[in-house]
Chain A
Protein backbone atom coordinates (compact mmCIF):
# COMPACT_ATOMS: atom_id res chain seq x y z
CA UNK A 1 0.00 0.00 0.00
CA UNK A 2 1.57 3.19 -1.22
CA UNK A 3 0.15 6.70 -1.17
CA UNK A 4 0.92 9.69 -3.39
CA UNK A 5 0.64 13.25 -2.14
CA UNK A 6 0.52 15.43 -5.24
CA UNK A 7 2.38 18.71 -5.04
CA UNK A 8 1.29 21.59 -7.22
CA UNK A 9 3.05 24.95 -7.19
CA UNK A 10 1.22 26.60 -4.30
CA UNK A 11 0.17 23.45 -2.43
CA UNK A 12 0.68 24.07 1.27
CA UNK A 13 -1.00 21.18 3.09
CA UNK A 14 1.13 18.55 1.39
CA UNK A 15 3.45 18.11 4.37
CA UNK A 16 0.55 17.79 6.78
CA UNK A 17 -0.98 15.03 4.65
CA UNK A 18 2.38 13.29 4.28
CA UNK A 19 2.98 13.54 8.02
CA UNK A 20 -0.36 11.98 8.89
CA UNK A 21 0.05 9.16 6.40
CA UNK A 22 3.62 8.31 7.38
CA UNK A 23 3.87 9.24 11.06
CA UNK A 24 0.33 8.67 12.33
CA UNK A 25 -0.51 5.67 10.18
CA UNK A 26 2.89 4.30 9.15
CA UNK A 27 1.96 4.32 5.47
CA UNK A 28 4.52 4.49 2.69
CA UNK A 29 3.79 7.89 1.16
CA UNK A 30 5.62 9.91 -1.47
CA UNK A 31 5.41 13.44 -2.72
CA UNK A 32 4.64 13.55 -6.43
CA UNK A 33 5.46 16.74 -8.30
CA UNK A 34 2.65 17.89 -10.57
CA UNK A 35 4.83 17.52 -13.65
CA UNK A 36 5.17 13.76 -13.17
CA UNK A 37 3.46 11.79 -15.90
CA UNK A 38 2.12 8.89 -13.86
CA UNK A 39 0.68 7.93 -10.48
CA UNK A 40 -0.04 4.41 -11.64
CA UNK A 41 2.19 2.81 -9.02
CA UNK A 42 0.21 4.28 -6.10
CA UNK A 43 -2.81 2.78 -4.35
CA UNK A 44 -4.08 6.05 -2.93
CA UNK A 45 -3.82 9.54 -4.38
CA UNK A 46 -4.14 12.61 -2.17
CA UNK A 47 -4.60 16.09 -3.60
CA UNK A 48 -3.71 18.39 -0.71
CA UNK A 49 -4.93 21.87 0.12
CA UNK A 50 -3.26 25.13 -0.72
CA UNK A 51 -3.41 27.73 -3.43
CA UNK A 52 -2.29 25.93 -6.55
CA UNK A 53 -1.17 28.45 -9.16
CA UNK A 54 -2.11 31.23 -6.77
CA UNK A 55 -5.80 30.45 -7.32
CA UNK A 56 -5.45 32.40 -10.59
CA UNK A 57 -8.43 32.36 -12.94
CA UNK A 58 -10.45 30.06 -10.62
CA UNK A 59 -9.30 27.84 -7.77
CA UNK A 60 -7.96 24.65 -9.30
CA UNK A 61 -8.59 25.75 -12.89
CA UNK A 62 -4.94 25.71 -13.91
CA UNK A 63 -3.83 22.83 -11.71
CA UNK A 64 -6.43 20.74 -13.47
CA UNK A 65 -4.22 20.88 -16.56
CA UNK A 66 -1.04 19.85 -14.77
CA UNK A 67 0.51 16.84 -16.48
CA UNK A 68 -0.07 14.55 -13.49
CA UNK A 69 -3.83 15.12 -13.66
CA UNK A 70 -4.15 13.01 -16.81
CA UNK A 71 -2.86 10.07 -14.85
CA UNK A 72 -4.97 10.94 -11.80
CA UNK A 73 -8.08 10.96 -14.03
CA UNK A 74 -7.08 7.66 -15.63
CA UNK A 75 -6.46 6.02 -12.25
CA UNK A 76 -9.74 7.39 -10.88
CA UNK A 77 -11.46 5.91 -13.91
CA UNK A 78 -9.90 2.55 -13.04
CA UNK A 79 -11.40 2.79 -9.55
CA UNK A 80 -8.36 3.90 -7.59
CA UNK A 81 -9.04 5.92 -4.44
CA UNK A 82 -8.53 9.67 -4.76
CA UNK A 83 -9.00 12.22 -1.96
CA UNK A 84 -9.03 15.96 -2.58
CA UNK A 85 -8.88 18.19 0.46
CA UNK A 86 -9.82 21.87 0.20
CA UNK A 87 -7.89 23.08 -2.86
CA UNK A 88 -7.69 19.40 -3.82
CA UNK A 89 -11.50 19.30 -3.81
CA UNK A 90 -11.56 22.40 -6.01
CA UNK A 91 -9.13 20.78 -8.45
CA UNK A 92 -11.24 17.58 -8.60
CA UNK A 93 -14.34 19.66 -9.41
CA UNK A 94 -12.49 21.64 -12.08
CA UNK A 95 -11.21 18.36 -13.53
CA UNK A 96 -14.80 17.07 -13.65
CA UNK A 97 -13.85 14.11 -11.49
CA UNK A 98 -16.50 15.41 -9.11
CA UNK A 99 -19.70 17.23 -10.07
CA UNK A 100 -20.45 20.86 -9.19
CA UNK A 101 -18.13 23.73 -8.35
CA UNK A 102 -16.77 25.66 -5.37
CA UNK A 103 -17.39 29.37 -5.50
CA UNK A 104 -16.61 32.36 -3.28
CA UNK A 105 -17.86 32.04 0.30
CA UNK A 106 -21.21 33.72 0.66
CA UNK A 107 -19.77 36.02 3.34
CA UNK A 108 -16.81 36.90 1.07
CA UNK A 109 -14.61 36.27 4.11
CA UNK A 110 -11.83 33.75 4.25
CA UNK A 111 -13.06 31.39 6.96
CA UNK A 112 -10.58 29.78 9.30
CA UNK A 113 -12.21 27.90 12.16
CA UNK A 114 -13.20 24.51 13.50
CA UNK A 115 -16.53 23.23 12.26
CA UNK A 116 -18.63 20.15 12.74
CA UNK A 117 -19.12 17.98 9.68
CA UNK A 118 -21.94 15.49 10.02
CA UNK A 119 -21.32 12.09 8.53
CA UNK A 120 -24.12 11.45 6.05
CA UNK A 121 -22.95 8.20 4.52
CA UNK A 122 -20.97 5.74 6.62
CA UNK A 123 -20.65 3.19 3.85
CA UNK A 124 -18.15 4.94 1.61
CA UNK A 125 -14.55 3.85 1.21
CA UNK A 126 -13.59 7.04 3.04
CA UNK A 127 -15.89 6.97 6.03
CA UNK A 128 -16.75 3.42 7.05
CA UNK A 129 -14.12 2.60 9.62
CA UNK A 130 -13.20 2.73 13.28
CA UNK A 131 -10.11 4.22 14.84
CA UNK A 132 -8.66 4.57 18.32
CA UNK A 133 -7.95 8.04 19.67
CA UNK A 134 -4.83 8.81 21.68
CA UNK A 135 -6.70 8.20 24.93
CA UNK A 136 -7.85 4.80 23.71
CA UNK A 137 -11.46 5.74 23.05
CA UNK A 138 -12.85 4.50 19.77
CA UNK A 139 -14.17 6.72 17.04
CA UNK A 140 -16.63 4.61 15.06
CA UNK A 141 -18.30 5.60 11.84
CA UNK A 142 -22.06 5.98 12.03
CA UNK A 143 -24.53 8.10 10.17
CA UNK A 144 -24.96 11.37 12.04
CA UNK A 145 -21.53 11.23 13.67
CA UNK A 146 -20.10 14.71 14.09
CA UNK A 147 -16.49 15.16 13.03
CA UNK A 148 -14.80 18.26 14.36
CA UNK A 149 -12.31 19.52 11.80
CA UNK A 150 -10.86 22.87 10.75
CA UNK A 151 -11.81 24.69 7.58
CA UNK A 152 -9.62 27.36 5.99
CA UNK A 153 -10.84 28.67 2.66
CA UNK A 154 -12.20 31.61 0.73
CA UNK A 155 -13.91 29.55 -1.97
CA UNK A 156 -15.66 26.62 -0.34
CA UNK A 157 -19.21 27.41 -1.28
CA UNK A 158 -20.28 24.21 -3.00
CA UNK A 159 -22.75 24.78 -5.78
CA UNK A 160 -24.42 22.54 -8.34
CA UNK A 161 -27.62 22.66 -10.35
CA UNK A 162 -30.85 21.12 -9.04
CA UNK A 163 -30.48 17.95 -11.08
CA UNK A 164 -26.96 17.34 -9.81
CA UNK A 165 -27.99 17.94 -6.19
CA UNK A 166 -30.90 15.53 -6.57
CA UNK A 167 -28.56 12.92 -8.04
CA UNK A 168 -26.03 13.41 -5.24
CA UNK A 169 -28.72 12.93 -2.61
CA UNK A 170 -30.33 9.98 -4.33
CA UNK A 171 -27.03 8.13 -4.71
CA UNK A 172 -25.77 8.80 -1.21
CA UNK A 173 -22.92 10.85 -2.66
CA UNK A 174 -23.17 13.59 -0.05
CA UNK A 175 -20.73 12.34 2.58
CA UNK A 176 -20.39 15.34 4.90
CA UNK A 177 -22.61 18.30 5.75
CA UNK A 178 -21.85 21.23 8.04
CA UNK A 179 -23.88 20.95 11.23
CA UNK A 180 -24.07 22.63 14.62
CA UNK A 181 -22.83 20.94 17.78
CA UNK A 182 -26.13 19.06 18.09
CA UNK A 183 -26.04 17.83 14.53
CA UNK A 184 -28.63 20.23 13.11
CA UNK A 185 -28.00 21.45 9.57
CA UNK A 186 -28.44 25.15 10.24
CA UNK A 187 -27.42 28.15 8.17
CA UNK A 188 -25.31 29.38 11.06
CA UNK A 189 -23.30 26.16 11.08
CA UNK A 190 -22.46 26.55 7.41
CA UNK A 191 -19.17 28.46 7.09
CA UNK A 192 -19.43 29.26 3.40
CA UNK A 193 -23.06 29.14 2.26
CA UNK A 194 -22.71 25.84 0.40
CA UNK A 195 -25.79 24.23 -1.13
CA UNK A 196 -27.59 22.03 1.42
CA UNK A 197 -24.68 22.51 3.85
CA UNK A 198 -22.54 20.21 1.72
CA UNK A 199 -18.98 19.83 3.01
CA UNK A 200 -17.86 16.73 1.13
CA UNK A 201 -19.02 14.49 -1.72
CA UNK A 202 -17.97 11.33 -3.54
CA UNK A 203 -18.32 10.58 -7.24
CA UNK A 204 -20.93 8.17 -8.55
CA UNK A 205 -18.62 5.16 -8.33
CA UNK A 206 -17.56 6.06 -4.80
CA UNK A 207 -13.80 6.15 -5.31
CA UNK A 208 -13.18 9.91 -5.56
CA UNK A 209 -13.80 12.01 -2.45
CA UNK A 210 -13.59 15.78 -2.12
CA UNK A 211 -14.06 17.74 1.09
CA UNK A 212 -13.45 21.28 2.27
CA UNK A 213 -12.59 20.52 5.93
CA UNK A 214 -9.01 19.45 6.68
CA UNK A 215 -8.90 15.96 8.23
CA UNK A 216 -5.08 16.09 8.14
CA UNK A 217 -5.18 18.98 10.59
CA UNK A 218 -7.34 16.96 12.97
CA UNK A 219 -5.30 13.84 13.64
CA UNK A 220 -3.52 14.72 16.85
CA UNK A 221 -4.88 15.75 20.27
CA UNK A 222 -2.34 18.60 20.23
CA UNK A 223 -4.26 20.12 17.35
CA UNK A 224 -7.54 20.07 19.20
CA UNK A 225 -9.20 17.17 17.40
CA UNK A 226 -8.47 13.66 16.22
CA UNK A 227 -11.66 13.22 14.25
CA UNK A 228 -9.84 13.41 10.93
CA UNK A 229 -8.29 10.04 11.72
CA UNK A 230 -11.57 8.35 10.88
CA UNK A 231 -11.22 9.46 7.26
CA UNK A 232 -7.56 8.47 6.95
CA UNK A 233 -8.15 5.14 8.68
CA UNK A 234 -11.07 4.36 6.35
CA UNK A 235 -9.29 5.26 3.15
CA UNK A 236 -6.11 3.44 4.15
CA UNK A 237 -8.11 0.30 4.97
CA UNK A 238 -9.99 0.55 1.70
CA UNK A 239 -6.84 1.13 -0.34
CA UNK A 240 -5.07 -1.78 1.38
CA UNK A 241 -7.98 -4.12 0.65
CA UNK A 242 -8.03 -3.01 -2.95
CA UNK A 243 -4.31 -3.65 -3.21
CA UNK A 244 -4.79 -7.22 -2.05
CA UNK A 245 -7.84 -7.99 -4.16
CA UNK A 246 -8.56 -6.08 -7.31
CA UNK A 247 -12.28 -5.91 -6.55
CA UNK A 248 -14.47 -2.88 -7.21
CA UNK A 249 -14.65 0.23 -5.04
CA UNK A 250 -15.04 -0.69 -1.38
CA UNK A 251 -18.16 0.47 0.38
CA UNK A 252 -19.74 1.63 -2.83
CA UNK A 253 -23.27 2.45 -1.96
CA UNK A 254 -25.84 0.85 -4.18
CA UNK A 255 -29.27 2.41 -4.09
Chain B
Protein backbone atom coordinates (compact mmCIF):
# COMPACT_ATOMS: atom_id res chain seq x y z
CA UNK B 1 0.00 0.00 0.00
CA UNK B 2 1.44 3.35 -1.00
CA UNK B 3 1.36 6.17 1.50
CA UNK B 4 -0.44 9.40 0.82
CA UNK B 5 1.75 12.42 0.22
CA UNK B 6 0.20 14.47 3.00
CA UNK B 7 2.37 15.03 6.02
CA UNK B 8 1.66 16.35 9.49
CA UNK B 9 2.35 19.88 10.55
CA UNK B 10 5.76 20.35 12.19
CA UNK B 11 5.76 19.33 15.80
CA UNK B 12 2.14 18.35 15.60
CA UNK B 13 0.71 14.97 16.35
CA UNK B 14 3.47 13.84 18.68
CA UNK B 15 1.03 12.17 21.04
CA UNK B 16 -0.56 10.38 18.13
CA UNK B 17 2.81 9.35 16.78
CA UNK B 18 4.14 7.93 20.01
CA UNK B 19 0.85 6.46 21.15
CA UNK B 20 -0.43 5.00 17.90
CA UNK B 21 -2.65 2.56 19.72
CA UNK B 22 -4.54 5.23 21.59
CA UNK B 23 -5.65 7.38 18.70
CA UNK B 24 -8.62 5.24 17.70
CA UNK B 25 -10.36 5.51 14.39
CA UNK B 26 -8.61 2.87 12.31
CA UNK B 27 -9.29 -0.81 11.91
CA UNK B 28 -8.31 -2.78 14.97
CA UNK B 29 -6.41 -6.01 14.62
CA UNK B 30 -6.05 -8.77 17.16
CA UNK B 31 -3.06 -8.49 19.50
CA UNK B 32 0.47 -9.68 18.73
CA UNK B 33 0.68 -8.30 15.20
CA UNK B 34 3.80 -7.64 13.27
CA UNK B 35 3.96 -4.60 11.04
CA UNK B 36 6.47 -4.80 8.22
CA UNK B 37 7.49 -1.43 6.83
CA UNK B 38 9.60 -1.08 3.71
CA UNK B 39 10.94 2.36 2.88
CA UNK B 40 12.47 2.97 -0.54
CA UNK B 41 13.96 6.07 -2.14
CA UNK B 42 11.57 7.47 -4.72
CA UNK B 43 12.32 6.54 -8.33
CA UNK B 44 12.83 10.21 -9.12
CA UNK B 45 15.41 10.69 -6.35
CA UNK B 46 19.03 9.78 -6.92
CA UNK B 47 20.12 6.93 -4.65
CA UNK B 48 23.90 7.28 -4.28
CA UNK B 49 24.11 4.16 -2.11
CA UNK B 50 22.29 2.12 -4.71
CA UNK B 51 24.65 3.35 -7.42
CA UNK B 52 27.70 2.44 -5.30
CA UNK B 53 26.34 -1.04 -4.56
CA UNK B 54 25.48 -1.56 -8.24
CA UNK B 55 29.02 -0.63 -9.25
CA UNK B 56 30.48 -2.93 -6.60
CA UNK B 57 28.33 -5.79 -7.85
CA UNK B 58 29.50 -5.18 -11.41
CA UNK B 59 33.09 -5.22 -10.23
CA UNK B 60 32.44 -8.48 -8.41
CA UNK B 61 31.59 -10.32 -11.60
CA UNK B 62 27.97 -9.41 -12.20
CA UNK B 63 28.20 -7.01 -15.16
CA UNK B 64 24.51 -7.55 -15.94
CA UNK B 65 23.28 -5.72 -12.85
CA UNK B 66 21.25 -2.83 -14.20
CA UNK B 67 20.40 -0.96 -11.05
CA UNK B 68 20.27 -1.28 -7.29
CA UNK B 69 18.20 0.75 -4.92
CA UNK B 70 18.88 0.63 -1.20
CA UNK B 71 16.02 1.09 1.23
CA UNK B 72 15.06 0.20 4.78
CA UNK B 73 13.17 -2.72 6.20
CA UNK B 74 11.56 -2.40 9.61
CA UNK B 75 9.90 -5.06 11.73
CA UNK B 76 7.53 -3.60 14.27
CA UNK B 77 5.83 -5.65 16.94
CA UNK B 78 2.54 -4.22 18.12
CA UNK B 79 -0.13 -5.32 20.53
CA UNK B 80 -3.16 -4.75 18.39
CA UNK B 81 -2.48 -2.49 15.47
CA UNK B 82 -4.45 0.54 14.50
CA UNK B 83 -3.75 0.53 10.79
CA UNK B 84 -4.55 4.20 10.22
CA UNK B 85 -2.20 5.21 13.00
CA UNK B 86 0.52 2.99 11.56
CA UNK B 87 0.12 4.61 8.15
CA UNK B 88 0.33 8.00 9.78
CA UNK B 89 3.55 7.12 11.53
CA UNK B 90 4.93 5.70 8.28
CA UNK B 91 4.24 9.02 6.56
CA UNK B 92 5.37 11.28 9.38
CA UNK B 93 8.31 9.50 10.95
CA UNK B 94 9.44 6.26 9.32
CA UNK B 95 9.62 7.76 5.83
CA UNK B 96 10.05 11.22 4.40
CA UNK B 97 7.48 11.57 1.59
CA UNK B 98 9.68 14.16 -0.13
CA UNK B 99 12.26 11.52 -0.98
CA UNK B 100 10.83 8.14 -0.05
CA UNK B 101 7.86 5.82 -0.59
CA UNK B 102 6.79 3.30 2.00
CA UNK B 103 4.87 0.08 2.06
CA UNK B 104 3.12 -1.24 5.15
CA UNK B 105 2.23 -4.87 5.60
CA UNK B 106 0.56 -6.42 8.62
CA UNK B 107 1.21 -10.02 9.53
Q: B-contacting residues of A (Cβ < 8 Å)?
A: 57-58, 61-62, 64-65, 67, 69-74, 76, 93-97, 99-101, 103-108, 157, 159-161, 193
Known: A70-B11, A96-B9. A104 touches B93 (CB 8 A): no
For residue B10, which residues in chain A have a CB less than 8 angstroms away from its CB?
Answer: 64, 69-70, 72-73, 76, 95-97
B44 at interface, CB cutoff 8 A: yes
Q: How far is the CB of A141 from chain B (nearest CB, A)?
A: 29
B12 at interface, CB cutoff 8 A: yes
Q: How far is the CB of B34 from chain A (nearest CB, A)?
A: 19
Cβ-defined partner of A161 (8 Å) among B41, B44, B96: B44
CB-based contact B48/A105 at 8 Å: yes
For residue A72, which residues in chain B have a CB less than 8 angstroms away from its CB?
Answer: 10-11
Measured CA separation A67–B10 after assembly (Å): 11
CB-based contact B46/A95 at 8 Å: no
CB-based contact B96/A61 at 8 Å: yes
CB-based contact B93/A61 at 8 Å: yes
Q: How far is the CB of A190 from chain B (nearest CB, A)?
A: 13
Further contacts, 19 of them, CB under 8 A, given A57-B93, A72-B11, A106-B46: A61-B96, A64-B10, A65-B14, A69-B11, A70-B14, A71-B11, A73-B9, A73-B11, A95-B11, A100-B98, A101-B96, A101-B98, A103-B45, A104-B48, A106-B48, A107-B48, A108-B52, A160-B98, A161-B44
B23 at interface, CB cutoff 8 A: no
Q: How far is the CB of A109 from chain B (nearest CB, A)?
A: 10
Q: What are 5 of the A-B contact pairs (CB < 8 Å)?
A: A67-B14, A70-B14, A103-B45, A105-B48, A159-B99
List 10 A-B pairs, minimum CB-CB distance, nearest first. Answer: A70-B11, A73-B10, A95-B10, A101-B98, A73-B11, A69-B11, A101-B99, A104-B48, A96-B10, A106-B48
For residue A159, which residues in chain B have a CB less than 8 angstroms away from its CB?
Answer: 45-46, 98-99
Measured CA separation A115–B16 after assembly (Å): 42
CB-based contact A108/B49 at 8 Å: yes
B94 at interface, CB cutoff 8 A: yes
| Interface SS, B side | loop
Measured CA separation A251–B46 after assembly (Å): 34
Measured CA separation A193–B45 after assembly (Å): 12
Q: How far is the CB of A206 from chain B (nearest CB, A)?
A: 17
CB-based contact A58/B96 at 8 Å: yes
0/1 string, B67-92, CB within 8 A of A gives 1: 00000000000000000000000000
Measured CA separation A193–B9 after assembly (Å): 29
For residue A69, which residues in chain B have a CB less than 8 angstroms away from its CB?
Answer: 10-11
B17 at interface, CB cutoff 8 A: yes
For residue B58, which residues in chain A have a CB less than 8 angstroms away from its CB?
Answer: none
Q: Closest A residue to B18 by CB, please name it.
A: A65
For residue A73, which residues in chain B have a CB less than 8 angstroms away from its CB?
Answer: 9-12
Cβ-defined partner of B46 (8 Å) among A62, A93, A103: A103
Question: Which of A97, A107, A159 has the most chain B CB atoms closer than 10 A to its own CB?
Answer: A159
Measured CA separation A106–B45 after assembly (Å): 11
CB-based contact B48/A108 at 8 Å: yes
Question: Which of B9, B11, B49, B52 has the most chain A CB atoms closer than 10 A to its own CB?
Answer: B11
Cβ-defined partner of A103 (8 Å) among B18, B93, B94, B99: B99
Measured CA separation A102–B93 after assembly (Å): 15
B7 at interface, CB cutoff 8 A: yes
